[in-house]
Amino acid sequence: MSYNDDFSPRWCMSTQEVGSGAALLIALFLAGFILLPAFWLGMYLGSKLWNVKIIKYFFGIAIASLYGYALCLLYSYGNPSFRMSSIITVVALSWLILDYIVANRKWNQMWVSQTVLKTYRWLFSA
């Protein structure tokens, strides 16, 4: 039996708690990064249908959910040697499609692709 009568709160965290919190934050960031372009594309389609918040958010959530479900199916039933590369390709294409639509279908106004091209030129120029 312990005779410790110190019942004050402990303000320290174990490394296991800190590690699980960091892993949760990384997982949430990755989920947001993966699902965000589908959500924005769904909101864009919803606003073209009817520019009301409930319609836009409904379309955004529905398309992001379908997109996430399709990525899970691709991971589950895809070829094991090409699973991750195919998922990364799909995510990159979704960001490029979003960039193309947001830039009003003009190549010079595409922010993501122009930034990638500038970085590529900067890295590999003489």
Per-residue model confidence as pLDDT tens digits over 49-96 = 888 889 899 999 999 999 999 999 988 887 888 888 888 889 988 988
CA distance 49 to 43: 10
The answer to whether residue 5 scores a pLDDT higher than 80 is: no
Question: Whose CA is closest to 71, among 91, 57, 52, 51?
Answer: 91
Task: Count Cα atoms within 13 angstroms, Cβ side, for 48.
Answer: 8
Mean pLDDT rounded to a whole number for the chain:
85
Q: Whole-model pTM above 0.95?
A: no
The domain spans of the chain are 23-124
- Of 32-36, 37-41, 49-53, which range is least confident? 49-53
Q: What is the pLDDT of residue 38?
A: 93
CB-count burial class (<10 Å; 0-12, 13-18, 19+) for 44: middle
- 112 close to 95: Cβ distance less than 8 angstroms: yes
Higher pLDDT, 16 or 119: 119
Q: What is the pLDDT of residue 4?
A: 63
